[in-house]
Structures are given as structure tokens and as C-alpha cells.
Amino acid sequence: MSFSAEQFKQQFPLFAQEENAGLVYLDNAATTQKPLSVINTMRDYYIHSSANTHRSSHRLARKSTEMVEQVRDKARQFVNAASGKEIIFCRGATEALNLLAHCLCSELEPGDEIVISTAEHHANIVPWQMAAKRHNLILRYVPHTAGVPQFDRLGEVLNERTRVVSLTGGSNSIGLRPDLSLIRQLLRRMHIMWVVDGAQLAAHEEIDVQKIGCDFFVCSAHKFYGPSGIGFLYGREILLESMPPWLGGGEMIAEVEFQQSRYAELPHKFEAGTSPLAAIAGLGAALDFLSRQDRVAMAEHEQRLTRMLHRELSASPNFRLISQVHHNLGIIAFVPVHGSATDLMHWLDERDIAVRVGHHCAQILGRTSGNQVTVRASVAAYNTDSDVRDFLQALDDYCEVQQSAISDEEVEPTSWTRDDFSLLQLERLASHRNWQGRYRELLLWSKVVSRKPEIRNPENLVRGCESEAWLVHREIDGRHFFGLDSDSRVVKGLGALLLSQIDGCTTEEIEALDLPLLFKELGLSKHLSQSRSNGFYALMRRAFHQVESGENRL
């Protein structure tokens, strides 16, 4: 079989919509798009066979029950489980990890140990933290270098009290793919339960839990072209049998008496309540869809795009790469040298390029590596060479704009000094006919706002800004003056717009202004994201509060 990204993409209706004609979707680590076969299957379920499962004997119930068990068998084949009893449907990897943390840790003794890593998603950290606190367990981390776990050193934290090792199969923030065969060798001779968080892994390679050698494997359908709200947990049958149930009621009981209950057999012991049946049908369709693809060719295509993006970004002096191309499942994480990651995200959004900015639910990794906020571009099989070229061109254009906004020499003041907003002309900002022109103008306005490290403290932080911003105020002879600072040039530009109207004015002059109307007339509310607009209004509210209260920060 051969693989064509262009042909593969044609199976996804979202990209065929007129409003998405120019969309470059690089947020696949968050969620993938859905092929038509998945969408139609969920629709057909509701039209032709919607009914609850197992509890009724009528025709529709029998059909729904048959569908659920067929999908369970498809999931079994997808991960090469030994039996359908080893497949537990969950809302996704997060729920599956919570189930495991609750059930496994309830059987442990105080002082027993759990091992995780700094690269884990919060869903593979917080449930273990909660369980450790509840049962007086000890949580240990794989040794790391600058935040990046060294999985070959896993043995250094294993001992006779280690009971559970729960590790990512692929980091959602930097793309790091651990050597699972190495981990298997380290754990083989020890009686330690091994959990693999495969949320990111399942989309990019074929899964064989027998070959991996893990005891548990979790994944979410929406990461591999399926619907949201459904995933599954694989667990070795002997371990699932020994575990207590998590949720009570509905499908998970066999008999209820006054003081106790007898639980259903596997897998239903862990599937309390009514399952998301249409989503299960969609999961089955996603598994069928993947089974028809050349998974090896898909992975090779994704890896080629990943190498291309790493090569181009590593050669640019305008970006600092956080991710590494080796052992990477398709994620490019980086930060811009000039401007902020958030500014870059909004620039890309204006080009209809979808990426993700933030800590990516991996705050420990960000904090220990010193890269709390990064830009993350993540590829899928429907991404094309054209997508990559458009993305790289948008990055080049952003850098050009940023360079024009950088002062020839930035002098950091030793004390808070007033900025001069008198030369900023609203007419010039309004004269630009498109958003790109006004964006450039706002970046030029940001140069008026000097760095003020002395005001960067918690009491001056403005709550509600997407990027951190600090605002201070002093009143002199009945007139109000403000000091602003931010790492975001766009926030500085918007702040300069605000302060150009109120800095040096009296209370009466400020109260007479209709700044929301000005913001709307300039067309900024149309083009800025809701969060960025909220940031402008947060600055405005803070400034008005300072005027009304007479708050001074000298």
C-alpha cells in the first residue's frame, strides 16, 4: 500500500467546508479531526438502533448490546489483548488513569511507592498524588536532566517497596517517546505493576500490549480520529479480577442485598451506569478506519514532516526549539526569541493556522525545564507539505513584524519612569484597512512602553490578561499617570492604546470617556480573540479602579 496525505485528508469533512478551505490544523496532540465514516456511524446509531444495552431483551437493545461487544473485540484486536474481558470502556485516558490510581492504590500498604516521571500529563500525576495522600504512599519520579526524564535511569528509583510504575508512552508537550522495551527489561524481574499512558501513542503506531509487556494501557479515541468522550483501558485479566470496582451502580452489579452487593464479572465490573453508546459506535468506526490504513506509511509521513519542521526551526535564530527530533512521535515545541508565545499564537490564528500555546497540562516538565509556556505544533497523517510550508511562511512573516518592532537599543530603567504616549495617533491606527496593518501598528506602539522590572510583583499583576501584565498608578496635582509592563508586545500595544487616552488626565476627563466604544470603532474587538479582548478590558477596569480608589504605586 502507498500513502497520500492529500487523499487521506479528503476523508475528513471538516477540511471540505468553505470556512476551512485555508485551515492548517496543527493541534492534533489536543484532538484529531474525524473521518466521515466515524461521523456517519454515530449518526446511524441514533437513527437506527438507539437503545440501552444488556438490560433489555427487545430488538433494539439486542442490537446495541451486539454493537458494544463487537467494538470491544475490535479494541482487543487494536492492542492485541488476550481477551475481551481485558477491555474496559472509559470516557478517555484521564478516567482510565483515575480508575487505576483509585483501585490499585486502595490495595497498597502505607509506605509503598509509586513511580512516575516529570514528562507526564497531569492526568498521570494528579490521580496518583491524590491516592498517595489518601493511603500514605510515597510518590517518586524518574531521574531527570533539566526536566527531561532519563528513562534508562528508572532502576535508580525502584526498590522492594515499589508497587506501581505509571509512565507516558509519548509526551504530549515535547513529543518524547520512551524506549518501552528498555522499561520492560528493567521491570521484568520485579513484581511491579506497569501502566502505560498511550493517549498520544495510539495515533502514531500500532499497539501490541503483549510485545510492550505492560500490565495496563490507556488511550482516548479522540486522539486517533475517533469521537470525544470515549476511550478504553486494557488490563491483564488476572489483575482486573483482583481489583475492587471503582464506581457503583447500574451495569457493574450482579445482585444487590441490604448490606452488600455482588459485582458483575469482567469487564462490566468497571463499567457502571449507561455507557456513551453512540461514542462507542464511533470508536468502533475509528478502529475500522485505522485498520484500513497503511499504518507504517502513515507513521513515515508524520516523521518526515516532524523532521522537516525541526530542521527549519533549528536553523532559525528567531526560535528556540524545546522538543528534539529523535524519538519524537510528531510534536514540535518551541518558543519565539522575540515577542511572546501567546502573541505568536494569535498571529498564526489570524492566518488560520491552529497550534497550541501553554504548559500543555505538563506544568512539572515546564517548571523543571524552565519552559513553562511553549508553542506546540503537532502533526497528523492528514497534514501535508503545503501545511508545513504555510506554517513556516507565517512564522517568517511574524519574525519580520517582530524585528521591525524591536528598538535598536533597549535600556532597562532603574526606576519607574513615565512613558510618553503623546506621539501615538489614533488616526494612524484607524487608517490601516486590514488587521495585519493594525497589528503592525500596535507592535510599534508597544515600543513606547519601557521595561519596568520594579513593578513586576503580585500586587501590581492585572488579573484577566491572557499574558502577564502589570499596571501601577500615581496621582500628581489631580492628574493620573500610569506605568505598564508586559512580556507580550500585543498587550503592551493594547495598553499603550488605553493609556494614550487616560494618562495625564483628570478624574473627570477619564470618567467622560467611552473606551469600549473606541475599542469597537477601531475594529479591534472583531479581530482579537475573546481572551485578548478580555485582557484589554481587564487593564481598563484596573486603571479605573486605581483612579477611583486613589491607589498609588510610587
Contacts of 448 (CB under 8 A, 6+ apart): 419, 420, 421, 423, 424, 496
Contact assessment for residue 276 and residue 226, using Cβ atoms and an 8 Å cutoff: no
d(CA 300, CA 486): 42
- Residue 500 is classified by DSSP as H
Backbone phi and psi for residue 33, each to the nearest 5 degrees, phi listed first: -75, 170
Whole-number Å distance between alpha carbons of 250 and 268:
10
Give the whole-angstrom CA distance, residue 365 versus residue 374: 11
Dihedral of the alpha carbons of 168, 31, 125, 247, in degrees to the nearest 10: -110
Residue 395 in 3-state DSSP?
A: helix
Catalytic residue among 90, 103, 105, 361: 361
Whole-angstrom distance, CA of residue 487 vs CA of residue 424: 20
Q: Tell me the C-alpha distance between 321 and 328, whole Å.
A: 13
Which residue shows C-alpha cell 499497539? 207
361 is catalytic: yes
- Beta pairing class for 113-116 and 138-141: parallel
- Name the pairing type of β-strands 356-358 and 331-336: unpaired
Residues with a catalytic annotation lie at 361
